[in-house]
Amino acid sequence: MEGRFLKGRLTGYGQCCYAGGDVYKGLFQGGKRSGKGTMVFSQYNDLMRATMESTYEGEWKLNKRNGQGVMTWPDGTTFEGEWLNDERVYGKQTMTDQNEYTGQFKDDKYHGAGKLLFSRERLLFEGLFENGLQSNLGRLTYLRSNTKEVYIG
């Protein structure tokens, strides 16, 4: 731990290296991550036999991601949006194939109102999602060249 200590707890800007290899640089309050900061999460991938890193840059409250932040996973997938108690609530996720989901999340899955753009196919689904899956209720738009075909169901 590096930084200023007040009553034995890290306060203000500092850095903390955790046992599993995670590293946090940013603001602390009473020894907890609170305010703006960046956490690099390290995780060993057995399949790839390598340590993979994910990065979160944004707001923290009481050691949890809270407020606006950007998460980047090892495969290049990103999420930019609102966090509450370490869970995604609303935002935009861009996958490595450039497909994009914008909308609500629950339990780390697409859930509620949202839009899913299939970039390669030039299709846009706007509607409801449940537990990470598209529901049957929504609008599918074909975004091809000069024409725009819409299916509502």
Question: Is 107 found in the same domain as 56?
Answer: no
Give the domain extent around 25: 1-90
Question: Is 120 found in the same domain as 57?
Answer: no
In total, how many domains does the chain have?
A: 2
Domain end call among 69, 90, 111:
90
Question: Is 153 found in the same domain as 110?
Answer: yes
pLDDT value of residue 148: 67
Question: Is 153 found in the same domain as 107?
Answer: yes
Question: Is 48 found in the same domain as 104?
Answer: no
Residue 153 reports pLDDT greater than 70: no
Question: Is 101 found in the same domain as 69?
Answer: no
Quick one: average pLDDT of 109-124?
93
> In three state form, how does the secondary structure of the chain look?
CEEEEECCEEEEEEEEECCCCCEEEEEEECCEEEEEEEEEEEEEECCCCEEEEEEEEEEEECCEEEEEEEEECCCCCEEEEEEECCEEEEEEEECCCCCEEEEEEECCEEEEEEEEEECCCCEEEEEEEECCEEEEEEEEEECCCCCCEEEEC
Residue 146's pLDDT band, with cuts at 50, 70 and 90, is low
Residue 108 reports pLDDT greater than 80: yes
